[in-house]
């Protein structure tokens, strides 16, 4: 079971649709550490995928320019 820590609303990328964000935590510190590790792994995977995608675009642009 997770406990709601805070909730806020914001527009996606400063415009368009309103998005509701929720931040929750585990009541147990050991549980929260496990969740934090999983979120860190997901974040690293997403960042590496985005970096790989940016590099592909740069290479394609470089080939088109030459």
Q: Supply the DSSP symbol for 16.
A: S
Q: How far is CA 45 from CA 33, 37, 54, in A?
A: 18, 12, 14
Number of domains forming the structure of the chain: 1
pLDDT tens digit sequence for 6-61: 999 988 776 778 889 888 888 888 988 998 999 999 999 999 999 999 999 988 88
Taking a C-beta distance cutoff of 8 angstroms, is the pair 24, 35 a contact? no
pTM: 0.60
Q: Supply the DSSP symbol for 14.
A: G
For 45, the domain range is 3-65
């Amino acid at each position: 079971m997770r406990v709601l820590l805070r909730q806020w609303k914001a527009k996606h990328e400063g415009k368009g649709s309103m998005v509701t964000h929720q931040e929750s935590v585990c009541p147990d510190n050991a549980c929260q550490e496990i969740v934090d590790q999983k979120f860190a792994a997901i974040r690293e995977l997403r960042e590496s995928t985005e970096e790989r995608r940016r590099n592909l675009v740069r290479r394609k642009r470089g080939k088109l320019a030459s």
